[in-house]
Amino acid sequence: MSNTITAAPVRHKNTDTNMFLPKMAKINKVEVFTERETWYEMEYLDKSSLGHTPGQFVEVSVFGVGEAPISISSDPTVEGKFELCIRNAGVVTNKIHQLKAGDTVGIRGPFGTGFDVNKFKGKNVLFVAGGLGLAPLRSLINYVVKTRKEYKDVTLLYGTREPKEILYKKEVEEFEKNKDINFHITVDRGAEGWTKNVGVITTLFPKVKIDDPKNTIVAVCGPPIMYKFVIMEVLAKNIPAENIYISLERRMKCGVGKCGHCQINSVYVCCEGPVFNYAQVRDFKEAI
Amino acid sequence: MHKAMTRAELALFAENLVKTNVVYGVVAKDKQFGWDRILDHKEMVLDYPTTISSPKKYFLPPTETLIEFKLAANPDPKFVNHSQEAILFGMHACDLYATSMLDNAFEDTNKDPNYLEKRKKAILIGVSCMPDPDCFCNKMGVDDAVHNEAKISKKEALYDLFFTNIGHKYLVSIGTKRGEDLLAKYAKPAEASKAELDQLKVVEKKRVESFTSEMKQDVEQLAKLMPKTYNSSVWKEYADKCFACGTCNLVCPTCYCFNITEKVKLNLQEGSREREWDSCMLPQFAEVAGGENFREHVAERLRHRLMRKGLYIKEKFDKSGCTGCARCYRNCTADISIVEMFNRLKEVTENE
């Protein structure tokens, strides 16, 4: 296990002739998180590492059903295995939800450009995760928590619709206890026994103190509707647009910049994204 | 470098090619023309108006298998790449240009093995044409890229061989060594005479003067205009007429977006993953799993398509994304003209 990862994220460059050929992986562990989301730990049958950077994604194949793009949610420095948190949202993901430990899937990737962790080093870090948006951010969050002393203040805001939709419950409890990070959680609708914040994620912003906005880097991931409101709050704290990173959801069919489904204006999200600098995409009308 | 061939010599050349090679060419299909495998050279036509669909269907077939697998505990997926040595005989300038643009797209960043292998094994033989009233390839830089010798010498030719009908004979321009070798192997053409080369100039001048399309802008002007049209009211204007059927994407020689689908054989033991032509004009094209659709309205999809043709591809590969072949107009179910749309965008943007 090493603590170093690729300095700057690079576009996927396939070096062989098999960019459409998935590599077989085995599901090691399965944990049902919520009604809609299930967590998987997988490893390649040949024991090789996935070799991803935080924010990248893979195409998961269930042969005979199809492929779906899924963001990688595990710490990139952990070698030999990787984790995915998958929402049952379509034909392929529905089939994946029926799989058990020991079953195999096909994996292509990792694809896309993730977060450049070097941009976060030495800065205050603010994570804003909405719903399943925690999954792609978790790769980066875990890396930052592991290398905690390299950053100044670390804040994590997490919101879901209801308490029963909270993902990574054990880790969320650890975040709450962890004195090295400022963790705030909210739900849109409370439930019996819920004592924490109720309201959309922007209601957490008054709790966030940003001392040095110019030296604060923000990473946002959530449903499209969330971005506009969260970015308004972030900008209102005088954090420059260039310091905001967002991860955009698209239906990448090929993952290699050809099929066109993920295109926003002239940009292929599967290659140049899914992580974008906000200043880079704010004028793209179709972005969010 | 030009050689000259009589019609009889050209027919013999074609006959020799067909005997020992896989040749694709243009044949009459009902009242129109289309690309097909040529088994008898007499069926192949060289003097024809724009085909219904372009030869892109050879390099990027409407459906193409990418992998095959078993429906078993070990699916054992295998990469599939079918390609063969082939000759495409009779490509018009617009389709040669489109092919070179597709080469860029499939070579960019991640090389597409299926496309590139078919492309590498194909010999492209072009043939001159006269524009019909809708053609505007001259405005899109296509004419220059194929016929302007001064410009061709800077880069590699878009064809291996190119035949121009000068009346009593055909003149052959040799684009590549591969083309030269093919010609030497299957024909014995004479050098073009001074008089024949003069006749070639007359014919080319006549072609250039024959364009009657009302397209007002060239490829550079179009690329400058398009960013200003993003919020134009024109998109809605045409969206109200457009059926969003996607026919324009299918017949367009530079549209290469695709969908990936899964096919299972009737024995339920084997399957394949295929790519098939897709259309950015169809409503579900930019939809994601949760139901969010990033180009929900026809106007947004129409804009995306025209931005690709007039701007995005130009920015990315420094080539026109539109070849001016006008197939999209000829086949449009709502009779929308891309020339009229580009002109209207210019007119309205300049007055807005």
The pLDDT tens digits for B76-104 are 999 998 899 999 999 999 999 999 999 99
Percent of chain B beyond pLDDT 90?
A: 89
Chain-chain contact of A20 with B259 (C-beta, under 8 angstroms): no
- Order of all β-strands in the sheet with B190-191: B32-38, B23-29, B86-91, B122-127, B161-165, B169-174, B2-6, B190-191
Please tell me the distance in Å from B232's CA to the nearest CA on chain A: 13
Position with higher pLDDT, A7 vs A87: A87
CB contact under 8 A, A271 and B289: no
CA–CA gap between residue A58 and residue A43 (Å, rounded): 13
For A63, the closest of B69, B114, B260 (CB atoms) is: B69
Q: Contact A75/A41 with Cβ under 8 angstroms?
A: no
pLDDT digits (tens, 9 = 90+) for A203-253: 999 999 998 999 999 999 998 889 999 999 999 999 999 999 999 989 999
Chain B nearest-CA distance from A151, in A, is: 34
Tell me how long chain A is. 288
Task: Please write the tens of the pLDDT for every residue from A174-185.
Answer: 999 999 999 999
Residue A179 DSSP SS3 = coil
What average pLDDT does the segment B237-257 reach? 97
Instruction: Decide: A90 and A2 in contact? Cβ < 8 Å.
Output: no
Residue A15 predicted with pLDDT over 80? no
Report the C-alpha gap between B42 and B257 in whole angstroms: 35
Of chain A, the percentage scoring pLDDT greater than 70 comes to: 94
| The pairing of beta strand B122-127 with beta strand B86-91 | parallel
Contacts of B112 in chain A (CB under 8 A): 19, 256, 258
> Would you give the distance in Å from CA B347 to the centre of its chain?
28
**What pLDDT is stored for residue A13 in this prediction?**
46
Q: Where are the alpha helices (DSSP H) in chain B?
A: 7-20, 56-59, 93-107, 113-120, 142-147, 149-152, 177-186, 194-209, 219-225, 234-239, 247-251, 298-307, 313-317, 327-331, 338-351
Give residue B352's pLDDT. Answer: 72
- A14 and B66: CB-CB below 8 Å? no
How close does chain A come to B56, measured CA to CA in Å? 15
Helix, strand and coil percent figures for chain A, each rounded to 5: 25, 30, 45
Residue B349, pLDDT > 50, answer yes
Please calculate the CA angle A246-A247-A253 and round it to the nearest 5 degrees. Answer: 155
Strands A182-187 and A154-160: parallel
Across the beta sheet with B270-277, the strand order is B78-79, B63-70, B270-277, B258-264
Q: By the 8 A CB rule, do A249 and A7 touch?
A: no
C-beta atoms of B316 and A266 within 8 A: yes
Position B155 scores a pLDDT of 61
Query: DSSP letters of B89-115?
Result: EEE-HHHHHHHHHHHHHHHSSS--HHH
Judging contacts by C-beta atoms under 8 Å, the chain B residues touching residue A251 are 286-289
Position A14 scores a pLDDT of 46
For B328-352, what is the mean pLDDT?
A: 94
Mutation pick from B65, B74, B83, B109 vs chain A, by most beta carbons of A within 10 Å, is B109
- Which residues in chain A touch residue B261, judged by CB atoms under 8 angstroms apart? 66
CA dist B312 and B184 (Å) reads 41
pTM for this predicted structure? 0.93
Q: Is A259 on the interface with B (CB under 8 A)?
A: yes
- Using 50, 70 and 90 to split pLDDT, how confident is the model at A2? very low
* ipTM, 2 dp: 0.91
Q: In what helix (H) or strand (E) does residue B77 lie, and over which residues does it extend? A: none
Amino acid B52: pLDDT? 93
Residues of A in contact with B105 (CB under 8 A): 258
Q: With bands split at pLDDT 50, 70 and 90, how would you rate the model's confidence at A16?
A: low
Burial of B122 by CB count in 10 Å (0-12 exposed, 13-18 middle, 19+ buried)?
buried
The per-residue pLDDT for range B150-208, each reduced to its tens digit, is 665 556 789 999 999 999 999 999 999 999 999 999 999 999 999 999 999 999 999 99
Inter-chain touch B286–A250, beta carbons under 8 Å:
yes
- The shortest C-alpha distance from B33 to chain A (Å) reads 28
Would you state the structure tokens that stand for residue A97, as one six-digit string? 């939800």
